[in-house]
Amino acid sequence: MDLDTVKDRAGPREFSPADDLPEEYRKAATRMIEFHANSEIMGAYLERPFIRQAPSIDRKLACSAKVQDEIGHGQLLYRAAESLGVKTREEMLDDLANGDGKFLNCFHYEMTDWVETPMIAFFVDGAAMRRQATLRRTSWEPYAHAMDKVCFEEGFHVKHGEDILRELMSGSKKEQELTQAAFEEWWPRIIQFFGPTDDKSTHHDFAASVGLKQQSNDQLRNAFLDQYIPKARSYGLEIPDEPRIRELDDGTYEVEEGDLDWDEFFTIAKNDYEPGVGQINGRKAAQEAVQWVRDTIESDATAAGGHAPQAAD
């Protein structure tokens, strides 16, 4: 199948591993899904410390379940990417450990205080849901099927984050002030979650033409603002003065994109941002710390003449 045929046929759940697809499509889909899988893994590593730091046993259990879900989403997506035949799961995980794998901007930053958890679990996961819901109609069928499960579980994650935000913003004045300060710090990063503006997006046009993406970065960003600015205000959060947000005549919102630090964003995209490098190195150290377990499982299986079970990352 040539590329023009792919573009003509691209639609909901159109292509499967049985199809003879051009290499350009396979590489673009692999890049997109690998990026998504990496982001699930790195998001889990960002939130993992809060399993211990959560203020109650119920919160600890919820954080633990959320982290497990995110790791599971990553593995599911690596398999969807692997089915394209361009890279193996192991190659993608190695690239992530070596700093070559790309992932979402928000997961490059450090998160140290409990008041920051709803910034990821409510706002970032809410942004993710906005994007992922459209990917249930992506043209690579294994990816679309994976998104059915991911979206179902992410819906619970957003509710988990919203419940934490509700609790913090109905708590003491100090809790409210700390939450507002965290919101002001994270707000620009959250707005940049959807990627560069349409005129600076390198991959959108091709991905849209072959049905991998359903909406542009700016469309997704504006839809998120329309939904989450009222939500933030309903919990008592004040929208920061920067970046400037315009309310249009029809009640929708747009961001003044020039107010966002795109130089920092593109530095992050290259994995050159120091906190992000720390996140990568932290995950690599954790992986190396349990390598002896993998080696033992594999050597025991080899000695027994069997096959080692696939170790989860």
* Residue 199 DSSP label: G
Number of domains within the chain: 1
Cα angle 57-113-164, degrees, rounded to a multiple of 5? 50
Per the domain annotation, does 160 fall within a domain?
Answer: yes
Q: Which domain holds residue 245?
A: 3-303
Residue 118 lies in a domain: yes
Two tokens at 212? 């991998």
Residues 233 and 230: their CA atoms lie apart, in Å, by 5
Cβ-based neighbours of 249, under 8 Å, separated by 6 or more: none
Whether residue 240 lies inside any domain: the answer is yes
Task: Flag whether 34 is in a domain.
Answer: yes
Cα–Cα distance measured from residue 40 to residue 38, given in angstroms and rounded to the nearest whole number: 5
Stated pTM of the model: 0.88
What CATH number corresponds to the domain at position 262?
1.20.1260.10
Burial 4-19 (b: 16+ CB within 10 A, else e): eebeeebeebbbeeee
Show pLDDT as tens, one digit a residue, over the chain (313 residues).
Answer: 777 777 777 665 689 999 999 999 999 999 999 999 999 999 999 999 999 999 999 999 999 999 999 999 999 999 999 999 999 999 999 899 888 999 999 999 989 999 999 999 999 999 999 999 999 999 999 999 999 999 999 999 999 999 999 999 999 999 999 999 999 999 999 999 999 988 888 888 899 999 999 899 999 999 999 999 999 999 999 999 999 999 999 999 999 989 999 999 999 888 886 665 667 777 777 777 778 887 888 887 777 765 555 555 5
Burial 277-307 (b: 16+ CB within 10 A, else e): eebbeebeeeeeeeeeeeeeeeeeeeeeeee
Whether residue 313 lies inside any domain: the answer is no
